[in-house]
Amino acid sequence: AFTHGTLQCDNVERSRRFYVEVLGLEIAAGFNMAQYIKHPGSPWYIVVLQRNPRQYLAPVNRFALQMVSTTDVEQAHREFAAHGKEIGIADLGRLESADGRANFIFSDLDKNWWELTSRA
């Protein structure tokens, strides 16, 4: 079974605040140059390592977070569009809707890519 994925960051403390305050994730463990982040309802985690120089990923290499409804995804997109730079959103993709689902991609302050999607 899978246990974790790995991302890189520029500053572990700044990234920690983004993951907790913006994405609603939990810190499962933390060290000087690394942290383990996870969704509250899941046992799996992402290891985030502070690295210099960085290796940046393309948008197709992303983690997806599932929200309860299309309305939640649409609201998150509006909030990211209105306040993105101040909360740590580097790039924001367009909102896409089809077959009763909604999703969009974005990159965080470390230029790691994420997707917010709704349930089917």
Question: What's the chain look like in SS3?
Answer: CCCEEEEEECCHHHHHHHHHHCCCCEEEEECCCEEEEECCCCCCEEEEEECCCCCCCCCCCEEEEEECCHHHHHHHHHHHHHHHHHHCCCEECCCEEECCEEEEEEECCCCCEEEEEECC
Confidence of residue 1 (pLDDT cuts 50, 70, 90): confident
Q: Could you report the per-residue pLDDT of 29-76, keeping only the tens digit for each?
A: 988 899 999 999 988 999 999 999 999 999 999 999 999 999 999 999
Compute the average pLDDT of residues 95-119. 97
What pLDDT score was predicted for residue 2?
82
The CA angle 76-77-83, to the nearest 5 degrees, is 85
Question: Which residue type sits at 9?
Answer: C
Q: What is the pTM of this model?
A: 0.92
Query: Domains of the chain (ranges plus CATH)?
Result: 1-55 (3.30.720.120), 57-120 (3.10.180.10)
Tokens 């990211």, residue located: 80
